[in-house]
């Protein structure tokens, strides 16, 4: 491929709405282009990455015995009414009408259609097991589309569906898929973890998520470094001995703690773990107008973890809080609709920003100050439902240092990006849609199902979150848009450079290497900056000076300097 024929459009500046590095870099590298909220064009450079992801997924799905098909993006509402999901799915499901006023949906996933196919086509036990998959556009009207391809509204998903004669068969099919997923994610060259998951709205009881490890991930994952225990936070919380969970509005226990003011002392006195203590502060920030008057006051509830002295935490002493002041009682009352000291249990009437260590639990059974010397509140429920769900979604009832449920050590928490999900479904859909087959005795039986998703377009974003530097993307070889870029210096002036560059390009291309020759005539600095931004793993620079010594310059995207190599040896570096 020659760069002059390809479509390259790099940008110096990231778009203003880009919060995470993958969104910034994919836009700057010209891989995606925004059309609307959560809706992107996959530009040629980005599409090459997506196609490579798809190819790996397709190869491993086929190897695992799944069979590819394509189901419609637009699906009749009747099918979705059969399972009740037309109503149950809520606003994430995009519903549309045709010219005859008939209702349709845009597929967010395809259990209904695939079950409809199965009930018509798979009549006998002899046809089972079967696993059908597609790699297709999905649409989910996400409440908050963001982070570029990471949480789009339109995106590409690989979704597979297994059909078996019985539960044992379905569980075996599930294990085949779980193993295929491990091969797939190994091949992407990313660091990931398979974690136990709650089966959520889809139902069933065997479910794992594949999480790419990244600090910016939206999910908290809980694992035990000294055993194989790993679960997503929802699952971990479901298993955790959560203690009482008072409902918002329930009275708190005001507990005497004479003479105790540090978190550690209070925890010890009450015989509760230190991780359950939290210092809450209600703080305010003032925005001044040009005349220096207070134009607007924002009130913040802050939860601080660690062994703070509950009487002595002073704003200004806590790093990061320098711009705040304590809110006045009147401000707290007007903002939260309640008196200070009772913020947690009675529920906050208005959304409130909660700024805290991301893995603090806010659900229940907390200890905090009672705004009265020698007293603390226990059983505090911070009322996740009444605070901004996005900000508190991460604030959970399981904290690092809790005992692992397998008894093998203590829990650690890290952030992840959900790139894949495998579910055992049982007969949830086959019963709802009456999908039966005839068994050996000619008796109808409900099919046992599983479903298996991979976020094809989320994956490149997750890869970038994990692998980038200040200059741009660092793609793993397996999904890079090009494996090698040849950068000739002065190609327009030097016949030797041109000939060498073209010869190397043709050699590598003939050997099946995904190579691009940058023949745009850019200056070396601009050319290198582009390819470092785009993240091509291997770069070969060809110059007159090098050619005189019979050398080319090879540099891996992770190398800090180039290595001189004889032209004949270049292919050894890039494969
Ligand atoms: P999330 O928890 O991130 O909302 P999900 O659990 O709703 O994802 P699934 O129904 O399990 O998603 O879909 C299978 C896969 O599709 C997910 O593992 C994820 O990789 C991908 N996916 C889901 N929603 C989106 C989205 N809005 N944008 C891009 N990819 C997505
Ligand atoms: Mg979702
Ligand atoms: Mg999820
Ligand atoms: Mg999921």
Closest C-alpha residue for ligand 1 atom 1: 418
Q: Looking at residues 397-417, what average pLDDT do you find?
A: 86
Distance (Å) from CA 197 to ligand 4 centroid: 8
Q: Looking at residues 271-283, what average pLDDT do you find?
A: 69
Q: Looking at residues 550-559, what average pLDDT do you find?
A: 95
* 3-state SS track over 212-230: EECCCCCEEEEECCCCCCE
Residues with CB under 6 A from ligand 1: 109, 140, 142, 151-152, 155, 157, 418-421, 453, 455, 457-458
Distance (Å) from CA 438 to ligand 3 centroid: 35
Distance (Å) from CA 92 to ligand 2 centroid: 9
Closest C-alpha residue for ligand 1 atom 19: 455
Atom of ligand 1 nearest to the CA of 455: 20
- The pLDDT of residue 50: 98
Q: Is the pLDDT score of 30 beyond 80?
A: yes
Q: Give the model confidence (pLDDT) of 186-196 as tens digits.
A: 999 999 999 99
Name 146's Cβ contacts closer than 8 Å, sequence gap at least 6. Answer: 17, 19, 23, 38
Closest C-alpha residue for ligand 1 atom 2: 418
By mean pLDDT, which of 21-30, 123-132, 273-282, 559-568 is the weakest? 273-282
Q: pLDDT-based confidence at 439, cuts 50/70/90?
A: very high
Distance (Å) from CA 143 to ligand 2 centroid: 9
Atom of ligand 1 nearest to the CA of 454: 15
- The pLDDT of residue 429: 96
Question: To the nearest whole percent, how much of the chain has pLDDT over 70?
Answer: 79
Q: pLDDT-based confidence at 278, cuts 50/70/90?
A: low
Q: Would you give the distance in Å from CA 27 to the centre of its chain?
A: 18
Q: Which of 208, 179, 170 is nearest to 425 (CA)?
A: 170
- The pLDDT of residue 243: 44
Distance (Å) from CA 455 to ligand 1 centroid: 6
Atom of ligand 1 nearest to the CA of 459: 20
Count of alpha carbons within 13 angstroms of residue 332, beta-carbon side: 17
Name 428's Cβ contacts closer than 8 Å, sequence gap at least 6. Answer: 202, 203, 204, 449
Question: To the nearest whole percent, how much of the chain has pLDDT over 90?
Answer: 64
Atom of ligand 1 nearest to the CA of 108: 10
DSSP symbols for 35-99 = EETTEEEE-HHHHHHHHHHHHHHHHHHHHTT-EE----SEEEHHHHHHTTHHHHTGGGSEEEE-T
Atom of ligand 1 nearest to the CA of 419: 20
Name 549's Cβ contacts closer than 8 Å, sequence gap at least 6. Answer: 564
Q: Is the pLDDT score of 250 beyond 90?
A: no
159 with 134: CB under 8 angstroms?
Answer: yes
State pTM to two decimals: 0.81
Q: Is the pLDDT score of 1 beyond 90?
A: yes
188 DSSP 8-state letter: T
Cis peptide before 108 (omega within 30 of 0): no
- The pLDDT of residue 334: 73
Indicate which ligand has the atom closest to the C-alpha of 210.
1
Distance (Å) from CA 159 to ligand 3 centroid: 14
d(CA 8, CA 3): 7
Task: Round the average pLDDT of the chain to a whole number and report it.
Answer: 85
Q: Looking at residues 229-256, what average pLDDT do you find?
A: 66
Distance (Å) from CA 197 to ligand 3 centroid: 9
Pocket test for ligand 1, best of 23, 54, 418, 422 (most atoms within 8 A of CB): 418
Atom of ligand 1 nearest to the CA of 142: 27
Distance (Å) from CA 71 to ligand 2 centroid: 20
ipTM surpassing 0.85: yes
Q: Give the model confidence (pLDDT) of 295-351 as tens digits.
A: 888 776 666 656 666 555 666 666 666 677 777 777 777 766 655 544 443 344 444
- The pLDDT of residue 270: 80
Q: Which of 139, 164, 135 is nearest to 67 (CA)?
A: 135
By mean pLDDT, which of 32-46, 280-294, 342-356, 556-570 is the weakest? 342-356
d(CA 439, CA 164): 11
327 DSSP 8-state letter: P
Closest C-alpha residue for ligand 1 atom 3: 418
- The pLDDT of residue 357: 40
Indicate which ligand has the atom closest to the C-alpha of 417.
1
Q: Is the pLDDT score of 396 beyond 60?
A: no
């Amino acid at each position: 491929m020659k760069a002059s024929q390809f479509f390259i459009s790099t940008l110096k500046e990231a778009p203003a709405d880009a919060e995470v590095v993958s969104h910034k870099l994919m836009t700057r590298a010209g891989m995606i282009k925004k059309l609307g909220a959560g809706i992107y064009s996959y530009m040629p450079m980005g599409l090459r990455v997506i196609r490579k992801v798809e190819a790996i997924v397709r190869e491993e799905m086929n190897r695992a015995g799944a069979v590819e098909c394509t189901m419609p993006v637009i699906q009749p509402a009747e099918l979705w009414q059969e399972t009740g999901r037309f109503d149950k799915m809520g606003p994430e499901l995009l519903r549309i009408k045709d010219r005859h006023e008939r209702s349709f949906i845009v597929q967010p996933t395809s259990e209904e259609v695939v079950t409809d196919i199965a009930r018509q086509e798979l009549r006998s036990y002899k046809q089972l097991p079967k696993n059908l998959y597609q790699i297709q556009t999905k649409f989910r009207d996400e409440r908050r589309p963001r982070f570029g391809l990471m949480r789009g509204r339109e995106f590409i998903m690989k979704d597979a569906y297994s059909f078996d004669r019985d539960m044992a068969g379905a569980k075996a099919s599930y294990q085949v898929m779980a193993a295929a997923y491990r091969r797939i994610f190994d091949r992407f060259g990313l660091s990931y973890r398979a974690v136990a998951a709650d089966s959520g709205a889809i139902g069933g009881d065997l479910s794992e998520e594949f999480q790419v490890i990244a600090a910016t991930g939206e999910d908290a994952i809980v694992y035990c470094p000294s055993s194989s225990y790993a679960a997503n936070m929802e699952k971990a919380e479901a298993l955790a001995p959560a203690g009482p969970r008072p409902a918002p509005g329930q009275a708190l226990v005001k507990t005497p703690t004479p003479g105790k003011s540090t978190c550690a002392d209070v925890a010890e006195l009450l015989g509760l773990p230190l991780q359950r203590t939290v210092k809450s502060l209600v703080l305010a920030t003032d925005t001044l107008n040009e005349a220096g008057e207070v134009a607007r006051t924002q009130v913040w509830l802050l939860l601080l973890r660690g062994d703070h002295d509950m009487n002595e935490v002073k704003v200004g002493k806590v790093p990061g809080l320098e711009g705040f002041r304590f809110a006045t009682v009147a401000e707290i009352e007007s903002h939260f609709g309640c008196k200070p000291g009772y913020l947690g249990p009675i529920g906050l009437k208005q959304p409130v920003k909660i700024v805290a260590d991301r893995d603090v639990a806010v659900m229940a059974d907390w200890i905090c100050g009672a705004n009265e010397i020698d007293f603390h509140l226990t059983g505090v429920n911070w009322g996740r439902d009444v605070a901004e769900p996005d900000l508190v979604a991460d604030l959970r009832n399981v904290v690092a240092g809790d005992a692992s449920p397998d008894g093998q050590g203590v829990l650690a928490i890290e952030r992840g990006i959900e790139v894949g999900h495998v579910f055992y479904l049982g007969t949830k859909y086959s019963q709802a849609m009456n999908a039966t087959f005839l068994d050996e005795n000619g008796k109808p039986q409900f099919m046992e199902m599983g479903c298996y998703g991979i976020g094809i377009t989320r994956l490149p974003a997750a890869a970038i979150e994990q692998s980038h530097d200040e200059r741009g993307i660092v793609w793993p070889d397996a999904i890079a848009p090009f494996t090698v870029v040849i950068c000739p210096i002065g190609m327009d002036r030097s016949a030797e450079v041109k000939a060498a560059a073209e010869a190397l390009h043709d050699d590598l291309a003939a050997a099946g290497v995904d190579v691009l020759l940058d023949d745009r005539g850019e200056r070396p600095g601009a050319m290198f900056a582009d390819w470092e931004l785009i993240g091509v793993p291997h770069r070969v620079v060809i110059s007159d000076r090098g050619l005189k010594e019979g050398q080319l310059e090879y540099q891996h995207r992770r190398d800090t300097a180039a290595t001189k190599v004889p032209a004949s040896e270049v292919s050894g570096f890039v494969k």
